[in-house]
Amino acid sequence: MNTKFKILYFLAVLMMVLASCQPDDFSLGSVLTKEELKFSITPLASDPNTIILKSETKGVIPEWTTPSGRSQKVNDTVQIAFAGDYKFVYGAICKGGVIYSDTVIINIAQNNLSYVNDPLWTALTGGVGKEKVWVADNGKYGMAPGAMSYADPSTTVEFNSFSPNWEPAGNANGSTDTDMGWGSTMTFSLKGGAVMTVHKINGDGKDETGTFFLNVDNHTLTTTDAYILRPDNYIANAQNWNKDLKILTLTENQFRVAVMRTNSEGSWWYIWNYVSKTYADAYVPEDQPDPTPSIGGDPNDILTTSNSKTWSISLQSPYNWSDLNGNMLNDWNTPADYQATGWAPYDADVISGISLVFTSTGTDGGKYSFTAGDSELEGIYQVNSENVITFSNDISFPISGSVSFATTAEKKLKIIKTKTDALGNITEMWLGNRSADLTKKEYQVFHLVLSTGGTTVDAAKELRKLLTNSSTLKYTVSTTSPFSWARNTTKDFDFTTSVPSWTNWTGSEVNLNAVAKVSLAFSNDGTVKYTDNKGEVQNGTFKIITGDKADGENLIVFDGVTVNFEMTGVEGGWVWCNFNTNIEGSQTNEKLPAANFWELYKWEYDATGKVSGIWFGKQSSVVSGGAAGERLVYHFIVSE
């Protein structure tokens, strides 16, 4: 306990006992002496390893210091498992100050290991006569996603019964590697006593040695003179780091402890996640994902350049096989190379009739059109940060002989390699079909080149057609998932199927009725009709600014209508749950509009490829992308 905290602690206690902490025969303001303290520290006759503590000084608050920690109970019991000499100190907190007795030494003649003969003691320490070393979870051991999690105090947060509401990956939220002190260890030992040792890389770098007590009935941990591993930048956020800490998980390899946040942000549970060092040192992931070779840019930009590109199968080297890093397994660069094998088919007439057009409709996907001779297939696609393209339809058309341009059984292909021209523009790419036999670490790859005869479309016009279905399309707010909160910076967001619990927004009849009144009707002539939650109508216009002109995003900008209505009904909730557009652009980014815009953040399609819904994104900061990469996203669906 640091000095500042001790002072505040004792001042608070003194205030509580101001009127009643003094025996009747002492004058106001007098101080007790050690000789006037009355207490007893007595081994139980039937079990000398059980020590009975009794405070008999009237009008004071006791302050016991014991081998198991500190206590302020008038009557308390300490159970000591191991033989040895143990120090006890009795203190009395009174108006005149705090007075402590001389140290009382109790000799325990023999062990009573029944006190620590419990599966939880064994899980924490390794067992009697052993010790176990724990390290912070870095999120790479197959346990928790990272070193810390959060839990809502209004929910159940108990041993083996809790649900984190947010689990940042890797470091604790906002902590640097220096704050974390990776390499620090925490050891719980039962070698002759319950001893806790913390080896610190962070902070002052000074190791800590103390004692600990595990309450197996209440599932709590109390430590003395040593603290659980925690990042430096979190220490000031909580008042209690050592007394009756909640144990949420304790197994052979995982240990999770809850500490209550008490700073100005308000009460919330921090959950600190640890794994045993033995487990961490020996851990080998069961499955390593396939590598994602560098392709020289954003995958969707490569496919479409924010608009549209037409790709054709290369007539020089239409297909090959490669390893998982994109290295070709056959030295095939010309038609003669195929013919020289005696088995690899090559048919220029078939190859020349194959093309693939990608048209972007968002940051992670759009529409595609595949042509092979007289056959044409259209659909939608999505591409993720691992460069994997998912198509809405199976594609399988012959390139030459028995070799077909084909997606996997999951309708996927992966961009595994690209090539640029002399000016640095990507003009070639290889799409890989992962072998279904995972023991074969290879792709069948298809070599596509940018078609010189391809046309570039007006992306804004195409997005408007998509939004309006080339006519007029009406959208209403989804009553099952009206909004969500996107928290990370990679734009690979998870969109929940229901409102996040931490928003305090409830799907009551009042709220749902209000939501059901809201609609936006977009027409292909650029007009929009907005009906708010009070049934009032506004008519105006909208325009779309494409990603290359709006700092990488596709934006919809309103004019003549103000989208702004409260989602909270009469039951309260966060102001973040209101629907409104960005009210101002960035002071540092001239590509963003001045006001009244949303991002066309995520599109939804039905089985036929038509738009069925859309998530509009509102930046949480005027800085492009949000200071923390956050979005509040509103979910509208096509109205019947």
Q: What tokens were used for 518?
A: 């809201």
* Structure confidence at residue 451 (pLDDT): 78
Q: In the predicted model, is pLDDT for residue 432 greater than 60?
A: yes
Q: In the predicted model, is pLDDT for residue 4 greater than 50?
A: no
Q: State the number of CA atoms in the 13 A half-sphere of 252 facing the CB.
A: 2
pLDDT in tens, 524-549: 999 999 998 778 899 999 998 876 55
Q: State the number of CA atoms in the 13 A half-sphere of 151 facing the CB.
A: 23
* Structure confidence at residue 596 (pLDDT): 85
| Out of 108-112, 161-165, 346-350, 592-596, least confident range | 592-596
pLDDT tier for residue 589 given thresholds of 50, 70 and 90: low
Pairing of strands 597-605, 611-619: antiparallel
- Average pLDDT along the chain: 82
Q: In the predicted model, is pLDDT for residue 334 greater than 70?
A: yes
Q: In the predicted model, is pLDDT for residue 10 greater than 80?
A: no
* Structure confidence at residue 182 (pLDDT): 95
Note the helical H segments in 36-152: 119-125
Does the reported pTM lie above 0.85?
no
The answer as to CATH 2.40.128 being correct for domain 116-282 is: yes
Note the helical H segments in 469-588: 509-516
Q: In the predicted model, is pLDDT for residue 628 greater than 50?
A: no
pLDDT in tens, 260-308: 999 998 999 999 999 999 999 999 876 667 788 778 778 887 887 656 7
Q: How far apart are CA 400 and CA 402, in angstroms?
A: 6
| Out of 189-198, 225-234, 585-594, 619-628, least confident range | 619-628
Q: In the predicted model, is pLDDT for residue 24 greater than 50?
A: no
* Structure confidence at residue 47 (pLDDT): 94
Residues facing residue 94 across a β-bridge: 97
Give the residue, 548 or 431, on which the prediction is more confident: 431
Q: What tokens were used for 74?
A: 């008038």
Q: How far apart are CA 627 and CA 396, in angstroms?
A: 44
The answer to whether residues 272 and 228 touch, using CB atoms and an 8 Å cutoff, is yes
Position 456, amino acid: T
pLDDT in tens, 298-321: 888 788 765 678 899 998 899 999
How many H-runs (helices) and E-runs (strands) does the chain carry? 9, 39
Between the CA of residue 493 and those of 210, 385, 488, what are the distances in Å?
44, 11, 7
- Per-residue burial over 361-392, b = 16 or more CB atoms within 10 Å of its CB, e = otherwise: bbbbbbbbebbbeeeebebbbbbbeebbbbbb
pLDDT in tens, 94-147: 877 889 999 999 999 998 988 898 999 999 999 999 999 999 999 989 899 999
Q: Which positions ≥6 away from 422 have C-beta within 8 Å?
A: none
Domain segments of the chain: what residues?
3-111, 116-282, 299-450, 459-638
pLDDT in tens, 135-179: 999 998 989 999 999 999 999 999 999 999 888 889 999 899 999
Position 170, amino acid: G
In CATH terms, 3-111 corresponds, of 3.30.1490.190, 3.40.50.2300, 3.20.20.70, 2.60.40.10, to 2.60.40.10
Give the residue, 208 or 27, on which the prediction is more confident: 208
